[in-house]
Amino acid sequence: MPEKIGHIFIALLMAFYFTAPVAFSQAAGKEEFIVISTPKGDITLKLYDDTPKHRDNFLKLARSGFYNGTLFHRVIDGFMIQGGDPDSRNAAPGAELGEGGPGYSVPAEITSAHFHRRGVLAAAREDDKVNPTRLSSGSQFYIVQGKVFTEEKLDFLEKEQNSLAKQQIFVEIMGRPENSTLRTQFFAPDAKKDPDHFKFLLDTLNGLIDKEFTEDKVFRLSEEQRKAYTTVGGAPHLDGKYTIFGEVVSGMEVVDAIAGVKRDEHDRPLEDIPMTVKVISNKIQPKP
Domain that holds residue 161: 152-217
The answer as to whether 3 is a domain residue is no
The answer as to whether 17 is a domain residue is no
Pair (135, 238) in one structural domain: yes
Residue 116 has pLDDT above 70, yes or no: yes
The Cα–Cα gap between 147 and 118 comes to 8
The Cα–Cα gap between 181 and 200 comes to 13
| Angle at CA of residue 18, ends 224 and 106, nearest 5° | 70
The answer as to whether 15 is a domain residue is no
Q: pLDDT digits over 236-261, tens only? A: 999 999 999 999 999 999 999 999 99
Q: What is the pLDDT of residue 216?
A: 83
Q: How many domains does the chain have?
A: 2
Pair (108, 250) in one structural domain: yes
Residue 37 has pLDDT above 80, yes or no: yes
Pair (91, 39) in one structural domain: yes
Q: In the structure, what pLDDT confidence band is assigned to residue 210 with cuts at 50, 70 and 90? A: very high
Q: What is the pLDDT of residue 31?
A: 79
Q: In the structure, what pLDDT confidence band is assigned to residue 14 with cuts at 50, 70 and 90? A: very low
Name residue 284's beta-bridge partners: 30
Pair (122, 156) in one structural domain: no
